[in-house]
Amino acid sequence: MKKYAFFVFLVCVVTAMPTRAAIERNMTGAELHTMCTSASNLDYGFCAGYVTAVADALHGASVAGYRACGHDGTRSQQLIDTYNAFADMFPGNLQDSADAAVAASLARAFPCR
């Protein structure tokens, strides 16, 4: 009975917590850059997933008005490095939404001709 009660308690706690995606849906480029340069594996993993998802969305479509081409087969680490370099060079662009900042960095690094 104690195991069952603990399981119910755990389910209640987990379902009551907001998801990270819900918390981060209005994330700025600056907040994402902080995660991308974090020593925390959780933050860095979120960064990698986010940047990779934006790169995937840029295949044949625009994101926040930006287009990128020729980034097929680019490793996640290179995409993150591209974003971090862009963030360091253009900190004023980090007030935009995170998806717009990532899309801008990839459009600059992988322009469509």
Dihedrals phi, psi of 57, to nearest 5 degrees: -65, -25
Asked whether the predicted pLDDT for residue 99 surpasses 60, the reply is yes
pTM of this structure: 0.77
Residue-level pLDDT at 60: 83
Domains of the chain and CATH, by start: 23-109 (1.10.890.40)
CB 66 within 8 A of CB 100: yes
* CA-derived radius of gyration, the chain: 17
What is the mean predicted confidence (pLDDT) over 56-65?
Answer: 92
Report the percent of the chain where pLDDT is more than 70. Answer: 78
DSSP lists the bridge partners of residue 63 as 66
What is the mean predicted confidence (pLDDT) over 30-53?
Answer: 95
Residue-level pLDDT at 26: 82
